[in-house]
Structure 1
Amino acid sequence: MFDKILIANRGEISCRVIKTARRLGIRTVAVHSEADARARHVEMADEAVCIGPAPVGDSYLRGDVILEAARRTGAEAIHPGYGFLSENAGFASACAAAGVVFIGPPIEAIRVMGSKAESKRLMAGADVPLVPGYHGAAQDMDVLTAEAERIGWPVLVKASAGGGGKGMRVVRAAGEFADAVAGAKREAKAAFGDDSVLLEKYLGRPRHVEIQVFCDTHGNGVYLFERDCSVQRRHQKVIEEAPAPALPDELRKRMGEAAVAAAKAVNYVGAGTVEFLYEDGGFYFIEMNTRLQVEHPVTEMITGLDLVEWQIRVAAGAPLPLRQEQVTRRGHAFEARLYAEDPQRDFLPAIGRLLRLRPPAESAHVRVDTGVREGDEVTMFYDPMIAKLIVWDEDRDAALRRLRVALGQYEVVGVTTNVGFLGAIAGHPAFKAVEIDTGFIERHRAELLPPPAPVPDRGLALAAMAVLLRRDAETRKARRAASDPHSPWMTANGWRLNDDNHHDLRFQDGETARPVTLHFRPDGYEVEVEGRAAIRATGVAFDGESLTASIDGLRTRAAVVFQGLDLTILGDGAVWRLRLDDPTARAAEQDGGGGRLTAPMPGTVVRVLVEAGQTVEAGTPLMLLEAMKMEHVIKAPSAGTVTTLHFAAGDQVSEGAELLVIEGEG
């Protein structure tokens, strides 16, 4: 067994590996960029080494610098986590040359399975069923177009070297093909350094089912059951579960045995995942991920095994702890990926400080894997995942109920998140009924992403009481320092000369002004919202973070977070955002006159698709902006003429930067 390992990664997977290493008595070395100097994984590790500036190309992808860190610290092995260098055959080879054990598969297995095209050619030779497609080396447009016509529309264009939905496009007609290939190649080059693509027939309503496999250096191989990862957006997994529901046991066994056969075909060692598409009783090989998967915790929850421990032991030369007939499963597990992103803005990543981060309590039923803490920054440099929420129970219905409850308990303020979206999926009748496939989110998009609803009267009442009690606390503090602490003007308790004791407040709820009046009563307040019948609140208390009150006789607790004039109220699974309309502090300017388009997030301009003076229609693509390795299309909000272009291809832009100006028609 190793005495010390280095984790060549960051975030939640580094924290995950450190926990297992610590339990096994193995010392750990973290690596970090300058931006991650105070990150959670750095604090958890026994030692830490800075490996460069924030951009991944200057830090987490610098295999030579990471190996030097291993040499300096005396680390005997390197765990690559997932992403970054985890499936880089060149890095695995460099580890071997340096005498450092790479906790992963053999170099040749990484190389072959890292190429979707080559792996599919190998699987075809091993009689593993494949989706009809083109996996050849020729990449010129004439060949790709001819192959797409042969396969038949719709066609899926995929990056040959990579995953995570990057470099992937669905093409439904011949006229869309050239632009889709060009976009996929650009994205693949940026994400993986390889712009080659492959083509596949796009299946109508398949499920995404993957098999966890493990092999050792002694010729043993097992499968640890399957996971269903069908609920995806932009081809990226959102909620995963194990085992895959509503599959015949005979099919599970056939898929598991096929996955082990695929692994043994490349003399595999360690943890790997063989991914299949499943439709109408048939299953088709997609790819093999030669690493630990993001969603591995659901497999751990149903098997009771620690897959990171298995990885470390196998890399140290030990045989697999169990034979196939000894592997058992119990119950059902879900994993929901909590991201800093805005579902209402096509899932654009969000950045900012995590002002409040309170996960549900962990237990035998609830697990939270995270690499961040309250107060940390979500930056533009790295994947915006905040945490993985994993739940388990005896059956799917019970586990799903626990998922809904745990999502409702998750409190995040400071960045926009997908928590509400995840809750909508978990509560959708079709999801509960296992009516799932890779098109689930798009098919139910209107129900999963409804327009923002107005904040209910109860939320406005809570906000108003929090504002008033906060002011009262601030006034009391000021009064203690005042020359006349007993002055009636130094109070916020509703005192009025010859008048009803009340306060009038106004909030901005999106674009709508919402007036609220609080009337002071001996035992609390009566709160009028927009002139409607008063809400009775008694037993009100606010400690600066949590507000408790009996609202019309119902005891309520809500967290209230202030960011200047902005308030976020969290309670009973709801998240309400308001802005206090305070005339003394209101900003004088209002951003964005009519045709000025601003960057929705920091990024790089990939292409400018229009010229100054060009007339455009509403929805016309104007620019391609790359952020966090994904391309985002900036479209015209209305018809008009492009009058000014502020940026060119290759330029860096910050969030809110004005990209171009369109003058409207008429």
Structure 2
Amino acid sequence: MFEKVLVANRGEIAVRVMRACEDLGVETVAVYSEADKHSGHVRYADEAYRVGPARAAESYLDQEAIVEAALEAGADAIHPGYGFLAENAEFAALVEETEGLTWVGPSSDAMEQLGEKTGARTVMDAADVPIVPGTTDPVEDADEVRAFGEEHGYPIAIKAEGGGGGRGMKVVEEESEVEEQLEAAKREGEAYFGNDSVYLERYLADPKHIEVQVIADEHGNVRHLGERDCSLQRRHQKVIEEGPSPSLDADMQTEIREAARRGVEAADYVNAGTVEFLVSGDEFFFLEVNTRIQVEHTVTEEITGVDIVKWQLRVAAGEELAFAQEDVEIEGHAMEFRINAENAAEDFAPATGGTLDVYDPPGGIGVRVDDALRQGDDLVTDYDSMVAKLVVYGADREECIARSKRALAEYDVEGIVTIIPFHRLMLEDETFVAGEHTTTYLDEEFDETQLYDAQERWGSEPSESEGEETAREREFTVEVNGKRFEVNLEEHGDVPAIPDVEADDSAAPSAPVGPGGDESEGETVVEAGGETVEAEMQGTILSVDVSAGDVVEPGDVLVVLEAMKMENDVVASHGGTVSQVAVEEGESVDMGDVLVVIE
């Protein structure tokens, strides 16, 4: 087993991995950005290294800085969690090639093969796993899309090869939309994944989304751990997951679980992963493979008793799976509720700030909370909106729902807005309670006006700003056991009149600061006059729709900003002439950054 593992992630998943390490007697290393220097995963780890400023591209996505931190800490393995670099085959290869480091996950070759959707379809088809009718070669132009539509009919899904979670996917309802949606899918693929290759699939209008958890070792053992139903989605993003699926009969359960196991075995895949399927009527079709741990892995852990993250570490260390397929028993029912800092009544808008004035998560039998925040913490809004995951287990689905109602009612959060009211509403929703919801239910059938009453009844409000506390950062040089370090200390409140201490330039780099230690962040220089249009949230610029000199009217789209895995049109609030465009396509921006200036 490893001696020290660096977790290349943040928040609740970083803490989740660290807990598994602690169970195995393994030391942990956190990495953090400037925005996360007071975050929970930093507190939990045995040691922590700063890898850059708030921008993810310059910190959590900085491959070299993370590997450098691992080497400096003396770690012998890197676990990526999910998101950020978790499915980046290039980063996995970098870790594999670095002497003394082990990648906790599937090999970079397997990630590349299964991460590209066309390659994964080819592997699954060869393993006799049903696939949705579609193309295996990248589609280059609109004529190919039209030809596919003539053969298979509309609607058609155009998907980015490196996509997932609805990102890089566009649906063509009719022939007139082909060129527009093809260009949008290619643009998103390039912006999100650095790959504008796309492929086509027959679009299944109202499917169930079923995924099977698998784990495999390097000794040829492949196991499935049952399925999860992730059909409750908003804009292709999962919000409540459960297992086992309430909509599959015993025969289809057996077939879909075995198909996943068979496909992974054919791909020579090692470590944990998830095979996703779409179910339409009495048919199921392969969708994609997620070559990492998933947010909802907790559901499977509750109904099988298998600690998936611990097995990730054991498999990466060369151990053989200690249980046979027939040893996997799926008992009871579990649900996971994503506790996101979003206001469901305002189109699930992410919170722009706040402090956890009260944070009292639920407890009791069958209740699990995965989180990293604590009461008094400020909400970090530079990344995704997830605050915690509430996981509830019951002997059956009925007990699980009853226990979930109790747990959500107990979850006391004040100071930030969350989607707890949405979850409580769903547990009273007839379609969801009956298990009859599909992936399109929330977007196309659900009456969203109910969310206003739910928010009023059960919701929390953002904390009111009481003025920023005076803070001053000082740098000191200290010596411990003959080794010198530079230490940064923050003083809050009334800063006493203490003279500055000059740092010793000859001192060794500080371990807590680590790689990426330049604390300066570039700011947009507004050269032109006029009213600035600023980013309302952190995200990535998908497209810039105006140029300097353009005349715009109120409501015109200026740029398209991807945030929280959704596209957001940034529009002009008034008419005028664009005097400056301060961003470029593919650029990462923070909340408050200037996007466009209009005179």
Name the TM tier (shorter chain): 0.7 to 0.9
- Native 8 Å contact 2:29 2:75 kept in 1: yes
Task: Provide TM-score, normalisation by structure 2.
Answer: 0.81
User: Aligned equivalents of 1:158 and 1:177: distance in 2?
Assistant: 13
- Native 8 Å contact 1:209 1:275 kept in 2: yes
Question: In the superposition, relative to structure 1, how do residues 596 and 407 fare at CA in structure 2: closer, same or farther (>3 Å)?
Answer: farther
Matched, 1:275 2:212: no
Shift of 1:175: 2.5
User: Aligned equivalents of 1:64 and 1:96: distance in 2?
Assistant: 13
Q: Equivalent residue for 2:491?
A: none
* Bigger mean CA deviation after superposition, 262-271 or 30-39: 30-39
User: Aligned equivalents of 1:84 and 1:623: distance in 2?
Assistant: 24
What are the Cα deviations for residues 103-162 of structure 1, in whole angstroms up to 9, with x where unaligned?
111222111111011111221222211111223124334434443454322122222113
User: Aligned equivalents of 1:449 and 1:177: distance in 2?
Assistant: 35
Question: In the superposition, relative to structure 1, how do residues 5 and 414 fare at CA in structure 2: closer, same or farther (>3 Å)?
Answer: same
What are the Cα deviations for residues 410-457 of structure 1, in whole angstroms up to 9, with x where unaligned?
23333332221222222201111111110121233325644458968x
What are the Cα deviations for residues 238-283 of structure 1, in whole angstroms up to 9, with x where unaligned?
1000111131112111111111111111111111100000111111
SS in 1 for 2:162: coil
Question: In the superposition, relative to structure 1, how do residues 16 and 196 fare at CA in structure 2: closer, same or farther (>3 Å)?
Answer: same
- Where structure 1 has 5 or more consecutive residues not aligned to the other structure, the ranges are 460-557, 567-594
Shift of 1:34: 1.9
Task: Provide TM-score, normalisation by structure 1.
Answer: 0.73
Matched, 1:625 2:557: no
Matched, 1:27 2:27: yes
Q: Equivalent residue for 2:464?
A: 563
- Native 8 Å contact 1:354 1:412 kept in 2: no
Question: In the superposition, relative to structure 1, how do residues 626 and 92 fare at CA in structure 2: closer, same or farther (>3 Å)?
Answer: closer
Matched letter for residue 74 of structure 1: G
Q: Equivalent residue for 1:332?
A: 333
What are the Cα deviations for residues 305-361 of structure 1, in whole angstroms up to 9, with x where unaligned?
211111111111111121011111211000011112232333232221233342433
Question: In the superposition, relative to structure 1, how do residues 561 and 250 fare at CA in structure 2: closer, same or farther (>3 Å)?
Answer: closer
Matched, 1:607 2:530: no
User: Aligned equivalents of 2:346 and 2:448: distance in 1?
Assistant: 15
Shift of 1:600: 4.5
What do you get for the CA RMSD once the two structures are aligned? 3.0
Matched letter for residue 607 of structure 1: V
- Native 8 Å contact 2:11 2:41 kept in 1: yes
Q: Equivalent residue for 1:131?
A: 132
Q: Equivalent residue for 2:121?
A: 120
* Bigger mean CA deviation after superposition, 115-124 or 59-68: 59-68
Matched letter for residue 135 of structure 1: T
User: Aligned equivalents of 1:332 and 1:156: distance in 2?
Assistant: 33
Matched, 1:255 2:256: yes
Q: Equivalent residue for 2:517?
A: none
User: Aligned equivalents of 2:444 and 2:203: distance in 1?
Assistant: 16
SS in 1 for 2:15: helix
User: Aligned equivalents of 1:256 and 1:269: distance in 2?
Assistant: 17
- Native 8 Å contact 1:151 1:200 kept in 2: no
Q: Equivalent residue for 1:70?
A: 70
User: Aligned equivalents of 2:12 and 2:446: distance in 1?
Assistant: 29
SS in 1 for 2:569: strand
Matched letter for residue 81 of structure 1: G
Question: In the superposition, relative to structure 1, how do residues 449 and 609 fare at CA in structure 2: closer, same or farther (>3 Å)?
Answer: farther
User: Aligned equivalents of 1:192 and 1:607: distance in 2?
Assistant: 18
- Native 8 Å contact 2:341 2:387 kept in 1: yes
- Paired residues for 1:367-382 under 5 Å: 367-382=368-383
User: Aligned equivalents of 1:56 and 1:454: distance in 2?
Assistant: 31
Q: Equivalent residue for 2:80?
A: 80
Q: Equivalent residue for 2:312?
A: 311
**Number of paired residues?**
529
Q: Equivalent residue for 1:186?
A: 187
What are the Cα deviations for residues 461-490 of structure 1, in whole angstroms up to 9, with x where unaligned?
xxxxxxxxxxxxxxxxxxxxxxxxxxxxxx
User: Aligned equivalents of 2:309 and 2:193: distance in 1?
Assistant: 25
SS in 2 for 1:412: strand
Shift of 1:614: 5.7
Q: Equivalent residue for 2:581?
A: 648
Question: In the superposition, relative to structure 1, how do residues 379 and 189 fare at CA in structure 2: closer, same or farther (>3 Å)?
Answer: farther
SS in 1 for 2:240: strand
Q: Equivalent residue for 1:59?
A: 59
- Native 8 Å contact 1:608 1:648 kept in 2: no
What are the Cα deviations for residues 182-239 of structure 1, in whole angstroms up to 9, with x where unaligned?
3333333232222222221111211000001111111111110000000011111110
Question: In the superposition, relative to structure 1, how do residues 649 and 444 fare at CA in structure 2: closer, same or farther (>3 Å)?
Answer: farther
- Paired residues for 1:467-482 under 5 Å: none
Question: In the superposition, relative to structure 1, how do residues 104 and 454 fare at CA in structure 2: closer, same or farther (>3 Å)?
Answer: closer
User: Aligned equivalents of 2:590 and 2:88: distance in 1?
Assistant: 30
Q: Equivalent residue for 1:469?
A: none
Question: In the superposition, relative to structure 1, how do residues 613 and 216 fare at CA in structure 2: closer, same or farther (>3 Å)?
Answer: closer
Q: Equivalent residue for 2:389?
A: 388
SS in 2 for 1:123: helix
Question: In the superposition, relative to structure 1, how do residues 275 and 612 fare at CA in structure 2: closer, same or farther (>3 Å)?
Answer: same
What are the Cα deviations for residues 492-539 of structure 1, in whole angstroms up to 9, with x where unaligned?
xxxxxxxxxxxxxxxxxxxxxxxxxxxxxxxxxxxxxxxxxxxxxxxx
SS in 2 for 1:287: strand
- Paired residues for 1:484-499 under 5 Å: none
- Native 8 Å contact 1:40 1:371 kept in 2: yes
User: Aligned equivalents of 2:183 and 2:325: distance in 1?
Assistant: 45
What are the Cα deviations for residues 522-558 of structure 1, in whole angstroms up to 9, with x where unaligned?
xxxxxxxxxxxxxxxxxxxxxxxxxxxxxxxxxxxx9
Q: Equivalent residue for 1:519?
A: none
Q: Equivalent residue for 1:487?
A: none
User: Aligned equivalents of 1:601 and 1:174: distance in 2?
Assistant: 35
Matched letter for residue 24 of structure 2: L
- Where structure 2 has 5 or more consecutive residues not aligned to the other structure, the ranges are 468-530
- Native 8 Å contact 1:353 1:414 kept in 2: yes
SS in 2 for 1:431: helix
User: Aligned equivalents of 1:559 and 1:445: distance in 2?
Assistant: 23
User: Aligned equivalents of 1:384 and 1:330: distance in 2?
Assistant: 31
- Native 8 Å contact 1:421 1:449 kept in 2: no
User: Aligned equivalents of 2:157 and 2:164: distance in 1?
Assistant: 13
Question: In the superposition, relative to structure 1, how do residues 183 and 561 fare at CA in structure 2: closer, same or farther (>3 Å)?
Answer: closer
Matched letter for residue 94 of structure 2: A
User: Aligned equivalents of 1:625 and 1:315: distance in 2?
Assistant: 38
- Paired residues for 1:90-489 under 5 Å: 90-99=90-99, 100-447=101-448, 449-451=450-452
- Native 8 Å contact 1:191 1:629 kept in 2: no
The structure whose RCO (Cα within 8 Å, separation 6+) is larger is 2
- Native 8 Å contact 1:33 1:50 kept in 2: yes
Matched letter for residue 45 of structure 1: A
- Native 8 Å contact 1:607 1:625 kept in 2: no
User: Aligned equivalents of 1:559 and 1:453: distance in 2?
Assistant: 11
User: Aligned equivalents of 1:559 and 1:343: distance in 2?
Assistant: 12
Q: Equivalent residue for 1:480?
A: none
SS in 2 for 1:302: helix
Question: In the superposition, relative to structure 1, how do residues 254 and 142 fare at CA in structure 2: closer, same or farther (>3 Å)?
Answer: same
Question: In the superposition, relative to structure 1, how do residues 180 and 409 fare at CA in structure 2: closer, same or farther (>3 Å)?
Answer: farther
User: Aligned equivalents of 1:322 and 1:335: distance in 2?
Assistant: 25
Matched letter for residue 53 of structure 2: P
Question: In the superposition, relative to structure 1, how do residues 656 and 448 fare at CA in structure 2: closer, same or farther (>3 Å)?
Answer: farther
